[in-house]
Amino acid sequence: MTKVWFITGSSRGLGRSLTEAVLAKGDKVAATARNTEALNDLVEKYPGQIYPVSLDVTHYHDVYRAVTDVITHFGRIDVLVNNAGFGITGAAEAYTDEQVRSQLETNLYAPIEITRAVLPHMRKQRSGRILQISSIGGRVGNPGVSIYQAAKFGLGGFSEALAKEVAPLGIKVTCVEPGGFRTDWAGASMTYAPKVAGYETTVDKRAEIFTSGKFIPMGDPDKAAKVMIDLVESPETPVHLVLGSEAISMLKQADAARQAEMEKWMPVSISTDHDEAENFLETKMGKAFYGPKK
């Protein structure tokens, strides 16, 4: 069955690779971009399959207009891919108010709002796939990208909760978490906070890697696109899908460190339970809320 995809940020990077792969497969794409002229070659190559939609994802009132427009044009949306976003590097204290807002508006609020706009249609269909393009930076915190990662951690939490919420409706949600991929994320699309003293060994080192041109990511966006298409076709989907060996290595180290920290501080954690907590866990309400007693 031919599927209808709604892909944001489709004119460049991973979004472009995915849009091309989906069209080559024979599916239809509502391709959103700030500049739809960048999609003209695909319109010529795949007439009738691609529907360019001019959209700034931070203009939330336009999001609902775009979703309604696509439903009118194609009749349905089977797959939503929230891909639009950009990175920023700097010390947490150094970002301007506008930089903080733009990160959260683009990388967190926008995918939440677009998801909310599409969900009623998928709920009526009793089917749908939602791919949230996050980052390994939504699972592992690193110096220099605190605001970007705040947005991605938020997107991961939203997606994990949403997956449980919509599962009975036939809708599946996956948070895709790539490591470094050979797009312009760390190049032309990267922005920077004003530099401040004191972060020479942490933030400044990361910024230097990006600006030096020596940062060569390991990931192939075309291979990532194929994985996402296969994912949509699969009856079984993960809630979190990490992409790239570099990202896997980072996550393994972070998970081991978190586990060790939790074990070390567990006596302190448990010491804060109310004296009645033990009895509450045995009640019907306690079991329903927390699950079986471990």
Catalytic residues: 134, 148, 152
Task: Give CA–CA dist 46/27, Å, rounded.
Answer: 10
| Cβ contact 66:82 at 8 Å | no
3-state helix, strand, coil in the chain (%, to 5): 50, 15, 30
Which residue, chain included where needed, has tokens 């204290």? Answer: 93
User: Residue 62 in 3-state DSSP?
Assistant: helix
Rounded to whole angstroms, how far apart are CA atoms 214 and 191?
17
Instruction: Say whether 170 sits in a helix, a strand or coil.
Output: coil
Tally the C-alpha atoms within 13 A of residue 135's C-alpha that lie toward its C-beta: 27
C-alpha neighbours within 13 Å on the C-beta side of residue 244: 22
Question: Coil, strand or helix: which one is 171?
Answer: strand
Give the phi and the psi of residue 130 in degrees, each rounded to 5. -125, 120
* Helices and strands (H, E) in the chain, number of each type: 11, 9
CA distances from residue 229 to 42, 44, 53, 131, 234 in whole angstroms, order as listed? 18, 23, 21, 10, 9
For the chain, state the CA radius of gyration. Answer: 21
Check if the beta carbon of residue 81 is closer than 8 Å to that of residue 18.
yes
